[in-house]
Structure 1
Amino acid sequence: MNSIVSALRFFFTHTLDCPDLARRLVRLAHPRKLPVVLSRDEVARLLNATTCLKHQAALSVAYGAGLRVAEVAMLKVADVDSERMLLRVERGKGGRYRNAMLSEDLLALLRQWWRVGRQQGVMHRDGWLFPGQHAMKPISTRQLHRIVVEAAQAADIAKRVGPHTLRHSFATHLLEDGTDIRIIQVLLGHAKLNNTALYAKVATRTVRAVTSPLDKLGLFKPGEISPDG
């Protein structure tokens, strides 16, 4: 519906040059669902449940750098900048370029995958970081989705999990660790802070760390409350 409204707005404003008609067109506000987030233990179980090193490395990039599934698929070997400890994302959402974080553990895993991939003859210095069935083509987003689903099933995770779940978990876990939300916004490549702020609603560790003002009153201490009320 909103796409139709946008098209009509463009038609009235730019094609017919009647902006007054466009003002009557109102976009509908859809309630945003809270993202599914895995616990740290569930992430570890999922990554360990992958069937090969390439799959484990690809999903580790999605979680460890907070990349979208398409961004993971389109990474090239040259995008791994071990000098600056960055991943260059050249095909981000909206065609935007950005740098993503590269941790020491993730770099070690990618180097291990590089050695194995070279032995298998599928890795090339100018090629894809995660080649598909054909070495000259990248892994597909559909295949990455299937890998995540199968790993979640093998890890006995009941939640509905997809590649984007790892990105959601990355952002939520950073927020729970006290990382500034504006830094998380940059790491995720969000154009608006409102999109990043959504993770504050699912950061349960952050919520648990807050002291209730009721507790500060000191009225109800354990052992001092009468069982009769």
Structure 2
Amino acid sequence: MSQTPPPLISPACRDALQSWLTGQAALNDASENTIAAYNSDVIDFLGFMTNHHGGQQGLAAISRISVSDMRAWMARSRADGLSARSLARKLSAVKTFYRWLAEREGFEPTAVLSTRAPKFTKKLPRPLAQDAARAVLDTVELQSERPWVAARDLAVITLLYGCGLRISEALGLKGQDAPLPPVLRIIGKGDKERIMPVLPAARDAVDKYLRLCPHPMKPEDPLFRGIRGGALNPRIIQGVMARTRAQLGLPSTATPHALRHSFATHLLEAGGDLRAIQELLGHASLSTTQTYTAVDTAHLMEVYQRTHPKA
């Protein structure tokens, strides 16, 4: 699940870190990638404190970390070329660990928790324009000479754009989910459940794929299959999308996940309610969904500057 911390971290800190990571995986359903990132971020922090203070830092020592210690770690990280965005992520992991450790060990973590993350410009989602999204749907089937594979790829892409699914959610569907109902129950990140209306176009695309698919479909089988019948690897869909965008002359940001962004942005442009879009996307926080209002505003300003006679 996680790497073993290097020897320069005290055994007590190592054990505490492993306990915290185990809890994150079990209680918060953190993914393996998230656990690996947490592990690396906290190890980097604790390793710096060991070198900074000239010796192994046990639990008592790290409970006394000061504001100046935090500043020194952040300054070193930036000097090593770490971006503000990456440092903010590392700091978030360290704070989460420290909050847990302070509750367990009974110390005051204010110096760590009050440390401000460096400011950075958040990257806005890069959705496709509506005509580009339609062109993708029209072109995806041309990427394979096997009719059933072409139908499969179109069905997946249609679910990403038409229902705003993550690629893992689309590829996580089972044979028992077909034929797709008008309303689909999706289990997303953190086991968060949401109800997703399924457009007729998406249901039709999946039905066509099922009619052509040469592999038997049991209820427990993955709905979308690879050439040999196993579960479809997301890299296959990423490759299909790469060939499609090359054929259409779209930018490298036109990825499978960009179709989910496009779903949300196009709903917002059409007057969709932000809270409703939040529910459809399965976002835990409205602030995550509000990113799309910035995209919509940026698009509006672009149109204004391009078309207004006084611009």
Partner of 1:67: 165
Aligned to 2:223, the other structure's residue is in SS state coil
CA–CA distance in structure 2, aligned partners of residues 204 and 80 of structure 1: 38
Inter-CA distance 79–27: structure 2 relative to 1 (3 Å threshold): farther
Q: What number of residue pairs does the alignment pair up? A: 205
Aligned to 2:243, the other structure's residue is in SS state helix
Deviations 1:40-88 (A, max 9, x none): 11112222222211111111101110011111111113235755x1222
Counterpart of 2:222, as a letter, is: W
Deviations 1:156-178 (A, max 9, x none): 21242221100000000000111
What is the alpha-carbon root mean square deviation over aligned residues? 2.6
Inter-CA distance 5–204: structure 2 relative to 1 (3 Å threshold): closer
| Runs of 4+ off more than 3 Å | 80-83, 122-126, 204-208
Matched, 1:21 2:21: no
Matched, 1:8 2:98: yes
Matched, 1:158 2:158: no
Aligned to 1:70, the other structure's residue is in SS state helix
Give the alignment partner of residue 212 of structure 2, picking from 116, 128, 131. 116
CA–CA distance in structure 2, aligned partners of residues 77 and 157 of structure 1: 33
CA–CA distance in structure 1, aligned partners of residues 219 and 96 of structure 2: 44
**In the alignment, is the contact (CA less than 8 A) between 1:69 and 1:163 conserved in 2?**
yes
Matched, 1:96 2:209: no
Tell me, which stretches of 5 or more residues in structure 1 are unaligned? 212-221
**Pairs within 5 Å for 1:127-206:** 127-135=221-229, 137-203=230-296
Whose radius of gyration is greater, 1 or 2? 2
Tell me, which stretches of 5 or more residues in structure 2 are unaligned? 1-89, 144-149
Counterpart of 2:100, as a letter, is: F
Aligned to 1:203, the other structure's residue is in SS state helix
CA–CA distance in structure 2, aligned partners of residues 206 and 176 of structure 1: 10
Which structure's residues are more often helix, by fraction? Answer: 2
CA–CA distance in structure 2, aligned partners of residues 27 and 74 of structure 1: 38
Partner of 1:87: 184
Return 126-135 or 95-104, whichever deviates more.
126-135
Partner of 2:52: none
CA–CA distance in structure 2, aligned partners of residues 148 and 104 of structure 1: 22
Inter-CA distance 78–206: structure 2 relative to 1 (3 Å threshold): farther
**Pairs within 5 Å for 1:41-52:** 41-50=131-140, 51=143, 52=150
**In the alignment, is the contact (CA less than 8 A) between 1:8 and 1:22 conserved in 2?**
no
CA–CA distance in structure 1, aligned partners of residues 294 and 243 of structure 2: 28
Inter-CA distance 132–82: structure 2 relative to 1 (3 Å threshold): closer
Counterpart of 2:103, as a letter, is: H
**In the alignment, is the contact (CA less than 8 A) between 1:49 and 1:152 conserved in 2?**
no
Q: TM-score, normalised by structure 1?
A: 0.79
Displacement after TM superposition at 1:132 (Å)? 2.5
Q: TM-score, normalised by structure 2?
A: 0.60
Counterpart of 1:33, as a letter, is: K
**In the alignment, is the contact (CA less than 8 A) between 2:173 and 2:223 conserved in 1?**
yes
Displacement after TM superposition at 1:109 (Å)? 1.3
Displacement after TM superposition at 1:6 (Å)? 2.0
Aligned to 1:35, the other structure's residue is in SS state coil
Return 1-10 or 185-194, whichever deviates more.
1-10
